[in-house]
Amino acid sequence: MNTRGLAPHQPSSSDPAGADRSAILQPHVLRLNYSKLRLLVIETGDRIHGFCRDISIPVLAREVDYTDSVAKDIAAGVYNCIILDGARGNTAYQEILTSVSSKPPFLPVIVIDGSLNFLRQGASENIASSELSAERMETALFNADRLCKLNNRSTILEMELSSLVEEDPLTALPGRSKFRVRMAKIIAKAHEAKKPISLIILDLNSFKELNESRGHDFGDKVLKTVARRLFKFAPRNSIVGRLGDDEFALLAVDRDLSTITHENFAVELMREIREPIFIDGQKTDVNATMGLAQLDDHDTADGLLHKSISALYAAKRDKVPFVVYTHEDDIERRQQLRLAQDLPEAIADNQLLLHFQPMIRMKDQEVVGVEALVRWQHPKQGLLFPDSFIPLAEGSGSIQALTEWVMKAAVKQGSLWLSEGHKICVSVNISALILHDPTFPDIVAQLLEETNFPAALLKLEITESAIISDVYRAKEIVTRLHELGTRLSIDDFGTGYTSLGYLRKLPVDEIKIDKSFVLNMTRIADDEVIVRTLLDLAGNLGLSVVAEGVEDAETWEMLDSLGCDIAQGYFMSRPIDIKNFGDWVASQPWKQELN
């Protein structure tokens, strides 16, 4: 029991809680022991902090706003109670209240001078400043703490109950929630015993494609084999689980993995996973990506999971086999999440714009088309390129709206050119997800009808891998688009595994040879052979060929002599905005560099 007295405090006139401080300016004996209290106060001024100081309740940190770093500390379990200044209004703390009240561990949140809304949003206690006293605060802390413990206990109980039945029947490994419950227990013990713990999350590469191409039975067998390998590899005392379709986790206990040994561990595990698998006499190579993280002093089970997932995302983004978690990865992932959240509004708010890159018919050097390439003029981060937000749009469900925006803007520009007497074909990139959306052809049909734009001047670029991932669905949608009269082009050709057999079955008009083959074709003989072969094959199928990535006059001349139809690349022009496009068409400086 703490029996310290109260430090004298002079209330200031601008201090809304000041009037009530007189009530506690008498010596006060604390009833509770606060040695374990890790209190966070969020307020603009100092009134709550000052009040706590006056009644000798320790405050671990005082913050003005709920920033990313505060959120991170909360998630990592740095605090066990939060006090908010409710006078800031109902919406100021929505995010924080949702995050601490939606899943365990629940955190007690006390609001000073808030409304009923705070309680509805998940706060545990609300104290009006007129009632604020040492006594009241202590009761609130006590009640809030008890309520949360109760909530935590019953939720964990619920989770444990469900985990009794929750075992993955295919691999016999614990599923996600069972794994989490076990992990939470092990982590609680490890914190007490100060034992090192690492969590590895492993995701199979291209599993969906493998499932599609070889069948689900085959996919199941691969999953079983991976599960078995992980289990065999896991050090003593570790637990292995299956978190999702092709996502596995390994919690390694008691292995002191510094960064170096973490890496060795990952390399060894990767080697094990990559051993060829023989199923029904067929050999299959499996590959995976991994995220690793080590438990820190303040980490909860969810905190550690979050870190490993951040590392996994970083590894996928950088296309490397594994990444060991660092704080920077986390910050980056948060920024990405924020960008993804901002995207729908950015689309509605016309923050997107198009750059156009000319496509030039080689035989007469005429500009016959443009590729419309999207950019995002972000209010804070400046001009963003598609590689930094298209994957986010695909992952967060904004890709449909984005594609519609791009198509509309491209068709609008194409119509304008047409009205000026220029027949320019506009190419739009269609992401794999869109290609599998059965409503997409209707959207295109409606756009063409509304704008009266000739379908033959709209070209849709789809990547090889988009077709491969679901050949039957892709075929159906591509056929419907073809029937509308739009042109279809296979983008990044040569990088996927399209057999030309597929192409024969699809009503496509054109292939675009991927720039990786074109960029160095004048210097690397193998690349030249590939380009030559692709040109021959396309010729046999009656398809037109675009070479992208033409960066110099020699490449232009070589392609020209090989009979390529259309060229696109920095040599002629980079993608440029519409204003510069007009000037470029008029001057076309690249022509002077040709022999």
Q: Does 464 participate in binding ligand C2E (rule CB under 6 A)?
A: no
Q: Which of 15, 43, 330, 548 binds ligand C2E (CB under 6 A)?
A: 548
Question: For the chain, what is the largest distance between any 2 Cα atoms, rounded to a whole number of angstroms?
Answer: 96
Inter-residue contact 534 to 545 (CB < 8 Å): yes
* CB-nearer residue toward ligand C2E: 50 or 575: 575
Contact between 42 and 63 (Cβ < 8 Å)? yes
Peptide bond into 105 cis (omega under 30): yes
Measured in whole angstroms, the distance separating CA 486 from the mean position of its chain's CA atoms is 32
Nearest to ligand C2E of 45, 344 (CB atom): 344
Binding residues among 333-372 for ligand C2E as defined by CB under 6 A: 357
C-alpha to C-alpha distance for 58 and 83, rounded to whole angstroms: 12
Cα–Cα distance for residue pair 222/284, rounded to 1 Å: 9
| Residue 427 binds ligand C2E, judged by CB under 6 A | no
Q: Residue 105 or residue 386: which is nearer to ligand C2E going by CB? A: 386
CA distance 151 to 145: 10
Distance CA 182, CA 48 (A): 39
Which residues on neighbouring strands pair with residue 567, listed in sequence order?
360, 547
Estimate the crossing angle of helix 301-317 against helix 327-348, to 10 degrees.
70
Contact stretch for Ca ion (CB under 5 A) within 226-234, 331-339, 491-499, 528-536: 491-499
Residue 570's binding partner, choosing from ligand C2E, Ca ion, none, with beta-carbon cut-off 5 to 8 A by kind? ligand C2E
How many residues of this chain interact with ligand C2E, rule: CB under 6 A? 23
The verdict on 549 binding ligand C2E (CB under 6 A) reads: yes
Q: How far is CA 319 from CA 199, 202, 287, 338, in A?
A: 20, 14, 12, 22
Q: Name 326's bridge partners.
A: none
DSSP per residue, 29-49: ---S--TT--EEEE-SSSHHH
Between residues 265 and 590, which has the closer beta carbon with respect to ligand C2E? 590
Rule CB under 5 A: say whether 510 interacts with Ca ion: no
Q: Which of 370, 390, 521, 564 contacts ligand C2E by CB under 6 A? A: 390
Six-digit token string for 292? 């690793």
Chain residues 461-490 in contact with Ca ion, contact rule CB under 5 A? 461
CB of 400 to ligand C2E, least distance (A): 10
- Interface stretch with ligand C2E, choices 114-122, 255-263, 317-325, 564-572 (CB under 6 A): 564-572
385 binds ligand C2E per the rule CB under 6 A: yes
Q: Kindly indicate which of the ranges 201-209, 250-258, 269-277, 545-553 contains the residues binding ligand C2E, using the contact rule CB under 6 A.
A: 545-553
Based on the shown chain and the rule CB under 6 A, indicate whether residue 374 belongs to the binding site for ligand C2E: yes
- One residue of 570, 578, 580, 585 binding ligand C2E per CB under 6 A: 570
Smallest separation, CB 584 to Ca ion (Å) = 19
**What are 537's two structure tokens?**
């094959």
Asked whether the CA dihedral 438, 464, 462, 394 is positive or negative, the reply is positive
**Which of ligand C2E, Ca ion, none interacts with 233 (beta carbon under 5 to 8 A by kind)?**
none
CB 397 within 8 A of CB 434: no
Task: Tell me, by CB under 5 A, how many residues bind Ca ion.
Answer: 4
CA dist., res. 300 & res. 99, Å (int): 14
Residue 491 interacts with ligand C2E (CB under 6 A)? yes
- Min dist CB 397 to ligand C2E, Å, is 14
Nearer to ligand C2E, 263 or 394 (CB): 394
- CA gap 218, 241 in Å, rounded: 21
Residue with smaller CB distance to ligand C2E, 163 or 336: 336
Q: Using CB under 6 A as the criterion, which residues of the chain lie in contact with ligand C2E when the complex forms?
A: 357, 373-374, 385-387, 390, 403, 406, 429, 431, 461, 491-492, 515, 548-551, 568-570, 575
